[in-house]
Amino acid sequence: MLEIDLKIILVQIVTFLIGILILWKIAWKPLVQILFKRKNDIAKNISDSENFKQETERLKVNYEQMIIDIDKKAKELLEKASSTAETQKQQLITEARDEAKKILDLAKKQMEQERESVKSDLRKEIVPIAISIAEKILDKTMDKSTQNQLIEKFLTDISEIKQ
């Protein structure tokens, strides 16, 4: 039947313990070191990943803020350009109106001068004609003193009309 041989069991236990001791010295320490190094590398990678994620979030916030600032500046520039354009438009309109008013005033002055010149020329032409007609009419009906009085009255009336 089955017999238990203590010598064999004892040799197997000692061999097993020697095998474990050899594995402990040769394989277990390097295996533990490899696992420890891998654990540290994984922790470092996770830490780096978290840092990268935080940096990415910070850059994203900065980028979004820059976009908002650029939009504000663009709106301000557009408003400023629009305001400047409106100011220039109003200035040009005002200048054009002033220039038109000057031209109109000058035209009115020239027309007034022309009118006065025409009046003066007409008076110069009408007075001798009126005097000659009056002389012809008066020669027949009046004496010289009455003629002189009428001429002076006529000249006074004309000078009043001039004024």
Distances in Å between the alpha carbon of 155 and those of 92, 138, 141? 53, 16, 20
Question: Is residue 4 included in any domain, yes or no?
Answer: no
- Give the model's confidence band at 139: pLDDT under 50 very low, under 70 low, under 90 confident, else very high: low
Question: Is residue 7 included in any domain, yes or no?
Answer: no
Question: Is residue 8 included in any domain, yes or no?
Answer: no
Question: Is residue 5 included in any domain, yes or no?
Answer: no
Whole-number pLDDT of residue 25: 82
In the chain, the number of structural domains is: 1
Question: Is residue 6 included in any domain, yes or no?
Answer: no
For the whole model, what pTM was predicted?
0.41
Question: Is residue 77 included in any domain, yes or no?
Answer: yes
Whole-number pLDDT of residue 152: 77
In this prediction, residues 8-23 reach a mean pLDDT of 92
Please state, rounded to an integer, the average pLDDT across all residues of the chain: 86
The CA distance from 127 to 154, in Å, is 9
Instruction: Print the domain residue range for 71.
Output: 13-162
Question: Is residue 151 included in any domain, yes or no?
Answer: yes
The CA distance from 62 to 1, in Å, is 85
